[in-house]
Chains A and B, each alone.
Chain A
Amino acid sequence: MNIAVAVKVVPDDQDITVAPDRSLDSSKAHQIASEYDLNAIEAAAQLAEAEGARLVAISASNAKAGDMKVRKSILSRGPEELLMIADDAYAFADSRTTAKALAKLVGDVEGGVDLVVCGDGSADMYAGQVNVQLASVLGVPCINSVTAMRMENGALVVERTLDDVVEEIEVALPAVVGVSPDIALPRIAGMREILAAGKKPATVNDAAAAGVDTNGTVEIDSVVAPELADRKREIFDTKNDGDLDAFIDAVAGVIR
């Protein structure tokens, strides 16, 4: 059995700065695997370990995503190999375009892929659509919000958790599943895993070399930081006499 886990590499939002014209600058940001995708890697790694399956990570992300540190971060968490398209066309790509690139990588996996595991949504777009689009491109079933999964008689059985109901669903393979962060806590890779990750195979190409079409289905007009509501910013400090009472008076004034 072969399992692929899809990972989006994004700039660390802690490092993104807002310019005076409210545009975003992520040029100095570290690249990291999107937060919830780490839970997806862990869930896929646990299933692969339980089934003796081979786990491959796939990614269509921005041009800096092929960075050694990011590769090690992904590969130290369980996948045996990484196949990546690193191209700025994927920094803001729509879900269909990203899914087509991932489908190409799925096709590149030796022996084919029985199951693709995706996170619930990426930190930047949080659309939760790449899994569905990928399933459509591959012509296979798809289910999302998965909080547990196991193999049973050649089919995948998932627990799917929505706000008001938990469903047990049998999914015929091959398939694509979107997993909720609840499914598994990401492991902390040790030095041994990180060193081993450096020796695992990783193939990183740009879109042209990978032979994928980056013509999108959605155009982006602008990305600007919101204007924050103007706040009063009256700050009191209990170190100063009378500040606590003044604060309590101010608070009492607004809650009444």
Chain B
Amino acid sequence: MKAFVIAEAAEAQKDLCAGARTLADEVVLVSIGDAPQTGVADKAYHIALPEGELYENATDTVIALFDEVAPEIVLVETTPRLKIVGGRLAAHADTSVINDVAAFDGDAAESLYFGGLATMKRRPAGSVRIYSTNGSMFSEAEASGTDAVEEREFVPASNPLKLRGKREVVQEGADIGRAPIVVGAGRGFAKEEDLDLARSLAAAVRGEIACSRPIAENEKWLPKSLYIGVSGRVISPKVYFAVGISGQMQHMVGVTGADTIIAINKDANAPVFKQADYGLVADLQEVLPVLTEKLA
């Protein structure tokens, strides 16, 4: 059995190849643009992009390679670019990408339904199986392989997208994915200035600030990269403070992996208390300064 891995980030190339090794005998890595990681696959293909060429325009080249290698399994990193490459490849193979796989149970792949309201187990009906994943389930798996890299010439797409220009984006906010302590602010914060109370608490406990969706998407008080929950970030910190957060499932699925959840809400009936280890029924304006002082 052969597996085809298509990933952008170096770490994802390694993780997906290590995971592919657990599913197949032969692992073939494809990298578009940047040179592929070595030592993680039995063979790596590099499709160098001509200057000014859009990543997605390499899809036809990838499909030609797929036909040549004829893998039974394809693992694709979950990124917007690879949603296009992987989706096109799936259409070519007359199947669908089983997206955002978080675990495998035999042939069945687990993904979230309604962002975590349920877990779906799905399996491809056809002979080619295509899954997308961020690779975190494979982070413990060992990658192994050769240093063999074969260059593949970029074949211009038949109906290309034209890249007119691009500009880099400066990442806003901290990487909450790696912070051991995270303070999440929700709708209970009535004014933007009040977020300073959450910032002070985060600073006192040497944590990072994050938020629920409305604070980022509606109020735009914090960057989108800091919002936790369905279609936002999923984090597993040591301690998560849910402050002024009601505890809607859509938010809480983003922190189910937290070791300890601490909730502060003025509504004693807020669902967040059912999902917390320690809860405090209190007005956040009154209690956050006290907590900040005592925990500093």
**Contact flag A126-B278 (CB < 8 Å), given A222-B120, A244-B290:** no
Interface string of A82-106 (1 = CB under 8 A from B): 0000000000101111010000000
B191 CB-CB contact with A under 8 Å: no
B199 CB-CB contact with A under 8 Å: no
**Contact flag A255-B205 (CB < 8 Å), given A123-B115, A128-B80, A248-B291:** yes
Q: Is the CB of A96 within 8 A of B95?
A: yes
A251–B169 Cα distance when bound, in Å, is: 37
B residues within 8 A CB of A161? Answer: 169
Q: Is the CB of A217 within 8 A of B295?
A: no
Question: Which chain B residue has the least Cβ–Cβ distance from A239?
Answer: B281
Q: Is the CB of A129 within 8 A of B90?
A: yes
Q: Is the CB of B91 within 8 A of A133?
A: yes
Q: Which one of B96, B124, B126, B260 lies within 8 Å of A95 (CB-CB)?
A: B96
**Contact flag A132-B88 (CB < 8 Å), given A167-B54, A223-B120, A233-B274:** yes
A94–B131 Cα distance when bound, in Å, is: 13
Interface string of A217-237 (1 = CB under 8 A from B): 111111111101101111111
**Contact flag A234-B278 (CB < 8 Å), given A129-B90, A216-B125, A221-B123:** yes
A135–B262 Cα distance when bound, in Å, is: 46
Q: Is the CB of B277 within 8 A of A232?
A: yes
Question: Which chain B residue has the least Cβ–Cβ distance from A254?
Answer: B260
Tell me the smallest distance from the CB of B230 to a CB of chain A, in Å.
Answer: 8
Question: Which chain B residue has the least Cβ–Cβ distance from A95?
Answer: B96
B residues within 8 A CB of A164? Answer: 168-169, 171
Interface string of B167-206 (1 = CB under 8 A from A): 1110100000000010000000000000000000000010
Tell me the smallest distance from the CB of A51 to a CB of chain B, in Å.
Answer: 20
Q: Is the CB of A255 within 8 A of B94?
A: no
A162–B274 Cα distance when bound, in Å, is: 36
Tell me the smallest distance from the CB of B10 to a CB of chain A, in Å.
Answer: 14
Tell me the smallest distance from the CB of A117 to a CB of chain B, in Å.
Answer: 16
Question: Which chain B residue has the least Cβ–Cβ distance from A169?
Answer: B161
Question: Which chain A residue has the least Cβ–Cβ distance from B273?
Answer: A235
Q: Is the CB of A255 within 8 A of B277?
A: no
Q: Is the CB of A231 within 8 A of B275?
A: yes
Question: Which chain A residue has the least Cβ–Cβ distance from B276?
Answer: A231
Total CB contacts across the A-B interface at under 8 A: 238
Stretch in B27-35, B66-74, B97-105 with 4+ CB within 8 Å of A: B97-105
Q: Which of B91, B111, B250, B260 has the most CB of A within 10 A?
A: B91
A residues within 8 A CB of B291? Answer: 248, 251
Q: Which one of B86, B123, B181, B283 lies within 8 Å of A219 (CB-CB)?
A: B123
Q: Which of A18, A141, A224 has the most CB of B within 10 A?
A: A141
Q: Is the CB of B278 within 8 A of A250?
A: yes
Q: Is the CB of B277 within 8 A of A234?
A: yes
Q: Which one of A92, A142, A182, A232 lies within 8 Å of B84 (CB-CB)?
A: A142
A238–B284 Cα distance when bound, in Å, is: 11
Q: Is the CB of A228 within 8 A of B256?
A: yes
Q: Is the CB of B295 within 8 A of A248?
A: yes
Q: Is the CB of B121 within 8 A of A141?
A: no
Tell me the smallest distance from the CB of B161 to a CB of chain A, in Å.
Answer: 5
Tell me the smallest distance from the CB of A54 to a CB of chain B, in Å.
Answer: 24
Q: Is the CB of B168 within 8 A of A165?
A: yes
Q: Is the CB of B279 within 8 A of A127?
A: no
Chain A residues packing against B (C-beta within 8 Å): 13, 16, 18, 22, 24, 36, 92, 94-97, 99, 121, 123-129, 131-133, 135-137, 140-145, 157, 161-172, 181-182, 216-226, 228-229, 231-239, 243-244, 247-248, 250-252, 254-255
Q: Can you spell out 21 A-B residue pairs with CB atoms less than 8 angstroms apart?
A: A13-B250, A94-B96, A96-B94, A127-B100, A141-B161, A163-B225, A165-B168, A167-B163, A168-B163, A168-B164, A169-B54, A170-B161, A217-B124, A220-B122, A223-B113, A226-B118, A231-B274, A231-B275, A238-B286, A248-B290, A255-B181
Q: What are the 4 closest A-B residue pairs judged by CB atoms, nearest first? A: A132-B87, A136-B91, A94-B96, A221-B121
